[in-house]
């Protein structure tokens, strides 16, 4: 039981007449780097929002770290929301202090090291940052928390190549010696697929394939190929 | 529960938070120009008052009519505190803070209240400066007129401050409704607020045209430090209670009825 | 699929195959071929993970396997080194050779050739080569 991080059964969430989650069922193991993969609008973000208690499912069952999601469970979750921005009047330093004050498990030392590594000046103001710099700041705020679950919703979306590289490098560094489960959603699998050791493919609010990436590779080829195959099939329909 | 020092840090965060990214993006006007505009406006306003002050029937207390829009500013201080989380795309961070929803709402309430009070104080000081300048440079105004002006202002401010907890709660609630399953009532809510607003201004004189605020501000009757009777105090207290209820309900909406 | 050099080892990572085995195989063969010498340092887990853009845990698992094989050894605070035992590498080389030959033979078998067919073919090759030289 304890080796399951997220357990969903027949999860349904509808917006007007469109189902964002359509009887989604999945079990995600602990202590893995999990890729949540699928095209835009496939329900990845809604899935994450139900995990963080922002969205209540219409029906079905969800358990995160063995509990029902709500504001209290977020103590143990570092969450990078999709398309999130940071408070424009903060500097890097102030953003870290904010995180230190409000986010349980925040490690100031780790954050300073990451800022140094990601080349973010402590006095830099969010208002004057490029999107890439802001993305790096938000990522480091999430990664500097010692919590059992980290959820990153599209951390590479709309940022420059250089920042993207730095974020990937930062992730690799970070992954080395941690006992955490990390969920990363993306629709651009290229360059990052080597990071995942577990993958969940979502399409139209359902899980269409999931498993250990090494096993998936042995059976179906690269994650990118799997993605392309499913996406093509979807276009044909 | 969250430790109280975290709560007060959250209040501090809300109170110090200024600026709105989407608005800043819409108006790409350099800061210099804004400073120019503000100075020009201030001079123009000053000139208008100065011109008016040369008329015979002008009383210093008339200056307060310029501040009749303050209730709206107080309302938008509450409304804006919720809205800008979405405008700035920071709502995800705010809503996943691992603390009881009522505390999040309460921190916004206090932050908005402090901002509203800061604005009220600034306006009071500016108005007092205008009035004093006029009194110094124009013949026919004495220190007693300035005292009368202050009394009228204090009376008006007592009402504003008394009602602002209710007004701010209403603003927070209105800002929140848009992002919850109650979204369909959003237009109706605006209509209700407009009606409440008119009721507020009409209410000034409803009790008695001889005692109403307009009468004081236009100089028909003398100002006193505390012009309110028991019924007004009761209305204000009931407003606080309703405001508290609104905050509670807003917290409930955030917890159970979000629609993102 | 591109070739990448990390330290003195060349890697070719194919994302359509399990990564762990590829790393293991490619370091093993680098050692067997002598591309990386006895007692030489191999890239750290971190370095390799960064260069190849893969999960450090995958690299770590491959490194643990190499250590179990006795092909590498960890030195405290210094990193991971190829074993300095010539015998160990030699034994491994022979094991690897035996594995390649076994694989070859079983493939031939599956094609319907008998071992004597294979032996005849090998003999022919040997004669050709000595003919070229002579």
d(CA A49, CA A81): 8
- Res C66: pLDDT: 92
Within a domain: B24: yes
d(CA A140, CA A174): 10
**How many domains does the structure of chain B reveal?**
1
Residue A175, chain C, CB below 8 Å: the answer is yes
Question: Which residue from B10, B90, B260 is facing A54, i.e. has the nearest CB?
Answer: B260
Q: Taking all residues of chain C, what is their mean pLDDT, rounded to a whole number?
A: 88
- In chain B, the percentage of residues whose pLDDT exceeds 70 is 89
Q: What is the mean pLDDT of residues A195-212?
A: 92
Q: What is the mean pLDDT of residues A150-177?
A: 83
Q: How far is A143 from chain C (nearest CA, A)?
A: 16
Q: What is the mean pLDDT of residues C15-36?
A: 89
Per-residue pLDDT reduced to its tens digit, B163-178? 999 999 999 999 999 9
The lowest-confidence range among B42-51, B82-91, B242-251, C120-129 is B42-51
Rounded to the nearest 10 degrees, the angle between the axes of helix A161-175 and helix C56-69 is 50
Q: How far is A75 from chain C (nearest CA, A)?
A: 26
Between C39 and B27, whose confidence is greater? Answer: C39
Statement to judge: residues C102 and C68 lie in one domain? no
Statement to judge: residues C59 and C118 lie in one domain? no
The tokens of B232 are what?
A: 């007004």
Confidence of residue A10 (pLDDT cuts 50, 70, 90): very high
Q: Is the pLDDT of residue B78 over 90?
A: yes
Given a contact cutoff of 8 angstroms between Cβ atoms, the answer to whether B45 and B126 are in contact is: no
Q: How many CB pairs under 8 A join A and B?
A: 69
Statement to judge: residues C91 and C75 lie in one domain? no
d(CA B20, CA B18): 7
Confidence of residue B245 (pLDDT cuts 50, 70, 90): very high
**How many domains does the structure of chain C reveal?**
2
- Res B27: pLDDT: 57
How many CB atoms are closer than 10 A to CB A49?
27
Within a domain: B121: yes
- Res B126: pLDDT: 87
Q: What is the mean pLDDT of residues A132-142?
A: 91
Within a domain: B11: no
Statement to judge: residues C77 and C100 lie in one domain? no
The lowest-confidence range among B101-115, B171-185, B212-226, C38-52 is B212-226
Parallel, antiparallel, or unpaired for β A33-37 and A181-186? Answer: parallel
Per-residue pLDDT reduced to its tens digit, A61-77? 999 999 999 999 999 99
Given a contact cutoff of 8 angstroms between Cβ atoms, the answer to whether B161 and B119 are in contact is: no
Q: Return the bridge partners of C73, or none.
A: C81
d(CA B129, CA B101): 42
- Is C15's CB within 8 Å of A223's CB? yes
Q: Taking all residues of chain A, what is their mean pLDDT, rounded to a whole number?
A: 89
- Closest-approach residue (CA) in chain A for C18: A214
Statement to judge: residues C11 and C74 lie in one domain? yes
Per-residue HEC secondary structure of A152-175 comes to: EECCCCCCCHHHHHHHHHHHHHHH
Question: Which residue from A52, A71, A82 is facing B100, i.e. has the nearest CB?
Answer: A71
Within a domain: B137: yes
B74-91 in b/e burial notation, b at 16+ Cβ within 10 A?
Answer: bbbbbbbbbbbbbbbbbb
Within a domain: B5: no
**CB-based touch B/C (3+ pairs, under 8 A):** no
**CB-based touch C/A (3+ pairs, under 8 A):** yes
- Res C134: pLDDT: 56
- Is A221's CB within 8 Å of C16's CB? yes
Q: Taking all residues of chain B, what is their mean pLDDT, rounded to a whole number?
A: 84
Q: Is the pLDDT of residue B242 over 90?
A: yes
d(CA A173, CA A194): 14
Phi-psi region of C21 (alpha: psi -120 to 50; beta: other; left: phi over 0): alpha
Between B140 and C128, whose confidence is greater? Answer: C128
- Res B235: pLDDT: 87
- Closest-approach residue (CA) in chain A for C15: A222
Q: How far is CA A208 from the centre of its chain?
A: 19
The lowest-confidence range among A78-82, B174-178, B226-230, C7-11 is B226-230
Statement to judge: residues C80 and C91 lie in one domain? no
Statement to judge: residues C112 and C70 lie in one domain? no
Within a domain: B7: no
What fold characterizes domain A4-236?
Answer: Rossmann fold (3.40.50)
Q: Is the pLDDT of residue A16 over 60?
A: yes
Give, as one character, the DSSP assignment of residue B203: H
Q: What is the mean pLDDT of residues C97-104?
A: 91
A83-122 in b/e burial notation, b at 16+ Cβ within 10 A?
Answer: ebbbbbebbbbbbbbbbeebbbebeeeebbebbeebebee
Confidence of residue A99 (pLDDT cuts 50, 70, 90): very high
- Domain limits for position B157: 19-256
Per-residue pLDDT reduced to its tens digit, C59-76? 999 999 999 988 899 888
HSE-up of residue C82 (Cα within 13 Å, Cβ side) = 26
- Res B246: pLDDT: 96
Confidence of residue B196 (pLDDT cuts 50, 70, 90): confident
Confidence of residue B205 (pLDDT cuts 50, 70, 90): low
- Is A194's CB within 8 Å of C19's CB? yes
- Domain limits for position C128: 87-133
DSSP A116-158: HHTT--TT-BGGG--HHHHHHHHHHHHHTB--SEEEEESTTTT
- Res A193: pLDDT: 87
Q: What is the mean pLDDT of residues B202-214?
A: 63
d(CA A26, CA A154): 20
Q: What are phi and psi of B53, to 5 degrees?
A: -65, -15
**Position of tokens 């990572």?**
C13
Q: How far is C11 from chain A (nearest CA, A)?
A: 14
Residue ranges in chain B assigned as alpha helix (H): 4-16, 21-26, 31-53, 70-87, 91-95, 101-137, 143-177, 186-206, 213-217, 230-256
HSE-up of residue C59 (Cα within 13 Å, Cβ side) = 25
- Where are chain A's structural domains? 4-236
Given a contact cutoff of 8 angstroms between Cβ atoms, the answer to whether C41 and C81 are in contact is: yes
Q: Is the pLDDT of residue B64 over 50?
A: yes
Statement to judge: residues C11 and C54 lie in one domain? yes
- Residue among A14, A87, A106, A158 with most chain B CBs within 10 A, to mutate: A87
- With contact defined as 3+ CB pairs under 8 Å, the chains touching A are B, C
Given a contact cutoff of 8 angstroms between Cβ atoms, the answer to whether B24 and A125 are in contact is: no
d(CA B3, CA A72): 14
- Res A1: pLDDT: 46
Per-residue HEC secondary structure of C64-75 comes to: HHHHHHCCEEEE
Statement to judge: residues C75 and C95 lie in one domain? no
Phi-psi region of A26 (alpha: psi -120 to 50; beta: other; left: phi over 0): beta
Statement to judge: residues C15 and C76 lie in one domain? yes
């Amino acid at each position: 039981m304890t080796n399951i991080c997220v357990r969903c059964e027949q999860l349904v969430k509808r917006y007007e007449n469109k189902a964002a989650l359509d009887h989604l069922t999945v079990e995600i193991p602990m202590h893995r780097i999990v890729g949540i993969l699928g095209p835009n609008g496939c329900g990845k973000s809604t899935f994450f929002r139900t995990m963080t208690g922002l969205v209540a499912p219409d029906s079905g069952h969800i358990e995160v770290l063995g509990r029902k999601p709500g504001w209290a469970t977020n103590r143990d979750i570092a969450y990078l929301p999709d398309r999130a921005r940071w408070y424009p009047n903060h500097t890097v330093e102030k953003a870290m202090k904010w995180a230190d004050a409000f986010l349980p498990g925040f490690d100031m030392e780790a954050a300073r090291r990451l800022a140094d590594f990601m080349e973010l000046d402590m006095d830099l103001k969010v208002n004057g940052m490029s999107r890439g710099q802001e993305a790096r700041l938000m990522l480091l705020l999430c990664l500097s928390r010692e919590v059992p679950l980290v959820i990153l919703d599209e951390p590479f979306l709309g940022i420059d190549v250089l920042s993207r590289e730095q974020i990937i490098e930062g992730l690799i560094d970070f992954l080395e010696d941690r006992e955490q489960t990390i969920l990363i959603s993306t629709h651009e699998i290229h360059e990052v697929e080597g990071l995942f050791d577990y993958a969940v493919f979502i399409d139209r609010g359902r899980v269409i394939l999931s498993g250990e990436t090494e096993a998936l590779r042995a059976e179906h080829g690269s994650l990118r190929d799997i993605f392309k195959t499913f996406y093509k099939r979807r276009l044909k329909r | 529960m969250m430790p109280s020092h975290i709560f007060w840090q959250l209040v501090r965060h809300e109170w110090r938070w200024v600026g709105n990214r989407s608005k800043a993006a819409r108006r790409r006007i350099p800061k210099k120009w804004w400073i120019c505009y503000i100075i020009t406006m201030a001079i123009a306003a000053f000139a208008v008052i100065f011109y008016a002050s040369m008329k015979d029937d002008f009383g210093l207390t008339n200056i307060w009519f310029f501040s009749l829009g303050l209730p709206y500013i107080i309302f938008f201080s509450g409304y804006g505190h919720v809205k800008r989380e979405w405008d700035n795309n920071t709502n995800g961070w705010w809503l996943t803070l691992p603390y009881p929803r009522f505390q999040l709402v309460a921190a916004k309430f206090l932050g908005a209240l402090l901002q509203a009070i800061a604005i009220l104080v600034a306006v009071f000081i500016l108005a007092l400066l205008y009035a004093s300048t006029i009194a110094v440079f124009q013949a026919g105004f004495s220190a007693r007129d300035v005292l009368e002006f202050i009394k009228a202002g204090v009376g008006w401010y007592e009402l504003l401050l008394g009602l602002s907890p209710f007004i701010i709660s209403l603003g927070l609630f209105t800002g929140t409704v848009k992002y919850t399953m109650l979204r369909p009532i959003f237009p109706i809510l605006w209509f209700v607020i407009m009606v409440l607003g008119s009721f507020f201004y009409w209410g000034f004189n409803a009790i008695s045209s001889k005692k109403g605020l307009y009468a004081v501000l236009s100089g028909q009757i003398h100002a006193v430090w505390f012009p309110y009777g028991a019924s007004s105090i009761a209305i204000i207290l009931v407003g606080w209670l309703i405001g508290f209820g609104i905050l509670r309900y807003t917290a409930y909406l955030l917890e159970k009825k979000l629609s993102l | 699929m591109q070739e990448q050099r990390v330290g003195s080892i060349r890697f070719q990572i194919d994302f359509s195959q399990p990564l762990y085995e590829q790393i293991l195989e490619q370091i093993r063969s680098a050692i067997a071929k002598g591309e990386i010498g006895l007692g030489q340092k191999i890239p750290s887990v971190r370095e390799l993970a960064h260069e190849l853009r893969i999960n450090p845990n995958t690299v770590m698992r491959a490194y643990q396997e190499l250590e179990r094989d006795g092909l590498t050894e960890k030195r405290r605070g210094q990193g991971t080194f190829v074993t300095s035992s010539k015998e160990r590498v030699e034994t491994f080389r022979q094991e690897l050779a035996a594995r390649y030959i076994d694989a070859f033979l079983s493939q031939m078998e599956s094609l319907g050739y008998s071992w004597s067919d294979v032996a005849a073919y090998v003999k022919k090759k040997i004669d050709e080569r000595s003919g070229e030289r002579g």
